[in-house]
Structure formats: C-alpha cells, structure tokens
Copies of this chain bind each other. A is one copy, B any other.
Amino acid sequence: MLSNSSKYAIKGVLYLALNSDEDHKVMVRDMHGVVHVPEAYLAKLLQELSRHGVISSTRGPKGGFFLSKEDRKRSLMDIVKVIDGEKRVKSCVLGVKDCDTDQPCVLHKLVGANKSKFIKVLENTTILDLIEGKRDVEEFFPV
C-alpha cells in the first residue's frame, strides 16, 4: 500500500517539520542518522519532493531542505503521490483493474471501507496536524 520509499519520505518531512524553517535549513547529512534512512537515498527522495514543490530547498552554503509555512499545510497524500504515485496507493486491494465502488470485487466490501478511511487520513492529515504538541524529536523516530 505504502512503499518503503514513501515511509522514508514521510519520516524525512516530519524531521523537517520539527527542525527547519526558512531561516534554519537542514542538510541531509545532519538528518539521515536521526530518521534512520540511508543518506544518499534520503537525498534522492527529498530532491524529488522539492522538485514537485512539496518541500523547499536551496543550494549552496547555508542551503538545505526546509518547510515553508505553505509546505506545512501539505497533506501526507501529497508526499505519497510524488513518491509512489496516486495509482499505487489507491489501487484495488485485489489489484483488479476496474474495481471501484460501482463494480467492487469481493474483498472490496470487506477491506475497501478500511482502505478508504486510510486514504482519507492520508488526504486530510497535514504535516502541521502531525507535529502539533510534539517537540521531542526522538519520540518520532524510535528506530
């Protein structure tokens, strides 16, 4: 449903939400250890997110990745869409091509409801929602 890459990306963005803003950009070098994602791979993912405007970045000295005010209003689905593509996330549980609510497959009724909720959560939860009230970084990335 969610690839590891998407999970990595979400972790990365959460880190940025907690540790960055326009004036405090962070380098991949300084975050990959905390979120437990390989440095080069995390860089790739963040670059992809930046390219699609989901997060922000600047190059050169004092550069790095960060979240603008606007970025924080992004939903989790915005991240997943860039990394996995919408199709993959929303695909039928049984992977049947034209399965939807009109022509549901067997499992659709059983599991589909849960899946829909899952997707709604991804769509309706912003980065801001996720971190509110949280300050302890470690709490987010136990391993």
Contact = CB atoms under 8 A, between A and B. Distances in A.
Contacts of A125: 110
Contact of A142 (B1, B105, B140): B105
Nearest to A142: B96
Nearest to A119: B114
Given A106-B14, A121-B111, A142 B97 contact: yes
A60 to B, nearest CB: 32
A137 to B, nearest CB: 11
Interface residues of A, number: 37
Contacts of A76: 107
Contact of A11 (B94, B121, B122): B94
A61 interface: no
A101 interface: no
Given A97-B142, A106-B139, 18 more contacts: A1-B1, A4-B95, A7-B93, A7-B94, A10-B107, A11-B94, A14-B106, A96-B141, A96-B142, A99-B143, A105-B142, A106-B130, A106-B131, A111-B122, A114-B114, A114-B117, A114-B121, A115-B118
Interface of A: 1-2, 4, 7, 10-11, 14, 36, 76, 93-99, 103, 105-107, 110-111, 114-115, 117-118, 121-122, 125, 130-131, 134, 139-143
